Structure 1
Amino acid sequence: MILASLLRPLRSFRCVLLFSILIRIGLIIYSEWHDSRSVVKYTDIDYRVFSDAAHFLLNPGPENENVAQGPLKSLLGWKISLGNPYTRETYRYTPLLALLVSPNDWSHPSFGKYLFALCDIVNGILIYKLLVNVILPSSSHNAASQPPNKTEKHASGPQHKRDELSRTEIEALATTFSAIHLLNPMVFSISTRGSSESVLSLFVLMTLYASLTKRWDAAAIMLGVSTHWKIYPVVYGVACVSALSGGSVGSTSWHLSLVNQKTIRFALLSAFTFGILNVVCFLIWGHPFLEETYLYHLHRLDHRHNFSPYFYFTYLTYPPLVKQPLDSESLSSWNQLMRSPLTSFVPQMTLALGAGLYYGHRIDDLPFAWFVQTVVFVNFNKVCTSQYFLWYLLLLPLILPRFHVSRRQAFTYVGVWIALQAFWLGEAYRLEFLGEDVFLSLWMRGLVYVLGNCWVLVELMKAYS
């Protein structure tokens, strides 16, 4: 009774929205107080990197010191009064991010945090709008048109009701599902600490919103923007092409239907948007932009402990001999294999693109297709940290209405997902804080984590309606 009375005010989306805004503002104010008094900072180190990059961007140095060195300067002789954000070591993002948080330098140091928190809120609103206007009405209508089945009494979710939901019921369910994002501690803690993931999430949701409402030109443009910001959303393009093709998966002519006027237009417009943003950035900032934003991630070797199944092999072959070519006789075949981007890239992209083609052939299934693609991409990435989980948790509220699971199954899946992380973190604590040599056992727990996540994903694929 007490719990029900506490949750009753949150049944209104406005109340959820207001509560989530207050949480974020409170945490940002707290972060300023905490950081000024504690050696261990609340603010993420990445936020300091963003702020420093913004400072370098706005304050070019004399002559060639901290000056944008793109072709516009050398070929055309144009004087560009912009600095080089990559003067800040470890800044490996698009220059547009440094430009976005530039008010940190001349307005208020926490401007970026408020901006990232605002993107969080807008993401929650987009999730709510998608649920109310597209996903829940579609799920309700599809369920109402299906005959009852024997497992209906064990199922949960609006798709298993025999009658279509009313507007009031849809709004109530949308509020509940969107609260999973807006009131998620992992989401609001990461944005208020200064991580920029919410900006990318906004671009991804705008792409999905345009796709589900069949505004394909807008979707293509936003996909190009998303991919420029961070490269992984490129896999969503395959699911969009599959949805646009209109073909039936498994038919003999399905692969031929992937190439038509609509899919070609979508691909070209998306590629053009991605290309024009990169060309502009390259013309201004030159090779450092390409190296730090894209090329670095291809040859990146991160030997620090993380969830990736590849981390231990990278650790064993670290540090890389940067000055020697990969085909040097001094490098063993094993080292070459571990340092090759293809080792992780091939299985990762094969699974991600295949999932997009298979699950994306119906527009209504795009959220689930993107979810499966993202989980696979994160699980089999050569570097995997907790921050990457936000990439697929963003899509979770949008696909929950389509799952046909019992409460027991739902708690099992959530429990396994949390337990796997706790299982890994227990060993990571021994390595990070106690200094014990547990690299091998930590990697073995990482393998258990990957296998467990794959099991949860397969069960969700079975349960998806």
Structure 2
Amino acid sequence: MTRPLIWSDNNLFILAFLVRLFFILYARIHDYLFNLNFTDVDYEVFTEAALLVLQGSSPYNLSTYRYSPIIAWILVPNYLFEDFGKIIFSILDVLVGWIQLQYFTQSNKISTTKKEIISNKLILFRRSICLLWLFNLFNIIIATRGNSDALICFLNLLIMLELSKGNYLLSAFIHGLATHLRIFPLIYLPSIFLHLSNYKNKNSGKNIKLFILNCLQNKRGFLFIFASIFSFLLSTFICYLFYGQSFIYSSFLYHLTRVDVSHNFSPYFLPLYLSMNNKEWTKFIGIFSFFPQIICNAFFALKFSNDLPFCWFLTTFAFVSFNKVSTSQYFIWYFCFLPLIIHKIKLNLNKLFLLLAIWLFAQGNWLLPAYLLEFCGYNTFVWVWFGSLIFLITNCYIMIQFINYYLFEEKKLVEKKIE
């Protein structure tokens, strides 16, 4: 017997949105009373860029605007109602939870036809969505501060959902758009390509010739790549027609060549800070930082592409952890996959809470010296750097634990004719 649901899905999503509205209203009060604003600095940049667009000018006349103009276009109504963008990001944040639920339902339709099993799983999964996303203060605050990362989380999960339905071309077009908006979804291409092939992870390394043959015959995979590239180039070309080279530099080249010497969670910040007057060392560190990301990306794609939620969680977790710039807002890039995998991690609650406590302690160990450095003026650079190293080691440990205790399922593709 399955227990009846006290709250319907619609009621949960409405309540989640109302909670976010409360924080948007709170931001007004907080920003009025305190010197340190609740509203994200980037949101103020978005609003100023949107005003420039409204005036018929380029958002890139604002030197701090480093995003696709699509963000500025969407937020033009900020001129009339300054919280418009926050409401849009909050809606997208709630829709992330809706897509998580849709993906779970879709994947379980494929894997089992026993209604009672699905119902019991659904109850547990709804709890996971509520705890880890819909009512998670971390991503609620990020969205209601006016950060745009809810948009990229929404698109990444939509890519996965459409893949699970067999809508490969639609998924590819969304992937191209997501990559245009934020270049990092490019890291999912290897796992998508292998997921769409006849390649089975458990046979990796046993027959290299068969693996290469499967890759060469992967029609769906190549079509996905070409469609994604076309979507990326089309959206980029349209924006280029409006704003030219300034768009290319600010949206792409700046982020590829960016050297951030301010303290952040990345252990690279201190070497970059110490070598900022030596261009050769700075360039070497920047190039070197890509290698751990590339190795992790390739390994996870080869090993776990049968299970895209887990593969993308690990891939994004590693990408953020080893990135040369890492801030707390980047964490939601992998948080959005957590509700899709947590029920398959065969650790008891005590061990899961222990991992959470270790992760939070590692953050606190970084945040304390960072606060003393930024707000009190103490020289805690080395302490902050050690905190960054400990946080990186902690992230690696958590990834290893998740891999060791994860319950894998065989890949199941929805066959759909591609025309």
- Normalised by the size of structure 2, how large is the TM-score? 0.90
Corresponding letter in the other structure for 2:60: Y
Q: Does 1:312 align with 2:270?
A: yes
Asked whether the 8 Å contact 1:28–1:193 carries over to 2, the reply is yes
C-alpha separation in 2, matches of 1:332 and 1:25: 46
Q: Does 1:238 align with 2:190?
A: yes
User: Residue 288 of structure 1: which of 246, 268, 275 is its match?
Assistant: 246
Deviations 1:191-246 (A, max 9, x none): 11100111111111110101122211111111101101101011111111011111
Asked whether the 8 Å contact 2:106–2:164 carries over to 1, the reply is no
Unaligned residue ranges in structure 2 (runs of 5+):
408-419
Q: Does 1:192 align with 2:144?
A: yes
When structure 1 is superposed on structure 2, of 239-248 and 371-380 the one drifting more is: 239-248
When structure 1 is superposed on structure 2, of 398-407 and 85-94 the one drifting more is: 398-407
Asked whether the 8 Å contact 1:139–1:402 carries over to 2, the reply is no
- Superposition map of 1:216-231 within 5 A: 216-231=168-183
C-alpha separation in 2, matches of 1:194 and 1:335: 32
Asked whether the 8 Å contact 1:235–1:356 carries over to 2, the reply is no
- Superposition map of 1:264-283 within 5 A: 264-283=222-241
- Superposition map of 1:389-428 within 5 A: 389-428=331-370
C-alpha separation in 1, matches of 2:142 and 2:280: 40
Asked whether the 8 Å contact 2:310–2:341 carries over to 1, the reply is yes
Q: Does 1:125 align with 2:125?
A: no
**Deviation of the 1:293 alpha carbon:** 0.5
The equivalent residue for 1:429 is 371
C-alpha separation in 1, matches of 2:363 and 2:234: 40
**Deviation of the 1:128 alpha carbon:** 1.4
**Deviation of the 1:335 alpha carbon:** 4.3
C-alpha separation in 2, matches of 1:10 and 1:209: 27
Asked whether the 8 Å contact 2:180–2:235 carries over to 1, the reply is yes
Asked whether the 8 Å contact 1:235–1:353 carries over to 2, the reply is no
| 2:383 counterpart SS class | helix
C-alpha separation in 2, matches of 1:444 and 1:92: 30
C-alpha separation in 2, matches of 1:335 and 1:239: 31
> CA 1:333–1:31 in 2, change beyond 3 Å: closer, same or farther?
closer
**Deviation of the 1:457 alpha carbon:** 0.4
Q: Does 1:116 align with 2:61?
A: no
> CA 1:368–1:336 in 2, change beyond 3 Å: closer, same or farther?
closer
Asked whether the 8 Å contact 1:10–1:16 carries over to 2, the reply is no
**Deviation of the 1:412 alpha carbon:** 1.8
Asked whether the 8 Å contact 1:50–1:98 carries over to 2, the reply is yes
The equivalent residue for 1:90 is 64
**Deviation of the 1:256 alpha carbon:** 3.0
The equivalent residue for 1:346 is 291
The equivalent residue for 2:14 is 18
Q: Does 1:334 align with 2:281?
A: yes
Deviations 1:357-391 (A, max 9, x none): 3210x2xx011010110011001000001001000
> CA 1:10–1:445 in 2, change beyond 3 Å: closer, same or farther?
farther
| 1:286 counterpart SS class | helix
C-alpha separation in 1, matches of 2:54 and 2:7: 45
The equivalent residue for 1:56 is 52
Asked whether the 8 Å contact 1:92–1:292 carries over to 2, the reply is yes
**Deviation of the 1:255 alpha carbon:** 2.9
Asked whether the 8 Å contact 2:172–2:227 carries over to 1, the reply is yes
> CA 1:375–1:332 in 2, change beyond 3 Å: closer, same or farther?
closer
| 1:43 counterpart SS class | coil
The equivalent residue for 2:260 is 302
The equivalent residue for 1:257 is 214
Structure with more helix by fraction: 2
**Deviation of the 1:129 alpha carbon:** 1.6
The equivalent residue for 2:410 is none
The equivalent residue for 1:357 is 302
C-alpha separation in 2, matches of 1:449 and 1:167: 37
The equivalent residue for 1:387 is 329
Corresponding letter in the other structure for 1:410: L
Larger gyration radius, structure 1 or structure 2 = 1
Asked whether the 8 Å contact 1:308–1:379 carries over to 2, the reply is yes
**Deviation of the 1:165 alpha carbon:** 4.2
> CA 1:235–1:37 in 2, change beyond 3 Å: closer, same or farther?
same
Deviations 1:2-54 (A, max 9, x none): xxxxxx99754334223211111111122223323433322111100000000
Corresponding letter in the other structure for 2:304: Y
The equivalent residue for 1:156 is none
**Deviation of the 1:343 alpha carbon:** 1.7
**Deviation of the 1:439 alpha carbon:** 0.7
The CA RMSD measured in Å over matched residues stands at 2.0
The equivalent residue for 2:31 is 35
C-alpha separation in 2, matches of 1:139 and 1:444: 45
**Deviation of the 1:139 alpha carbon:** 6.7
When structure 1 is superposed on structure 2, of 252-261 and 107-116 the one drifting more is: 252-261
Asked whether the 8 Å contact 1:140–1:165 carries over to 2, the reply is no
Deviations 1:85-120 (A, max 9, x none): 011121100000000111111x31110000000101
Corresponding letter in the other structure for 2:105: V
C-alpha separation in 1, matches of 2:199 and 2:50: 47
- The percent of aligned pairs where both chains have the same amino acid is 31
C-alpha separation in 2, matches of 1:206 and 1:115: 17
**Matched residue count:** 397
Q: Does 1:178 align with 2:129?
A: yes
> CA 1:235–1:170 in 2, change beyond 3 Å: closer, same or farther?
same
Unaligned residue ranges in structure 1 (runs of 5+):
1-7, 61-82, 142-162, 321-330
> CA 1:10–1:23 in 2, change beyond 3 Å: closer, same or farther?
farther
Corresponding letter in the other structure for 2:281: W
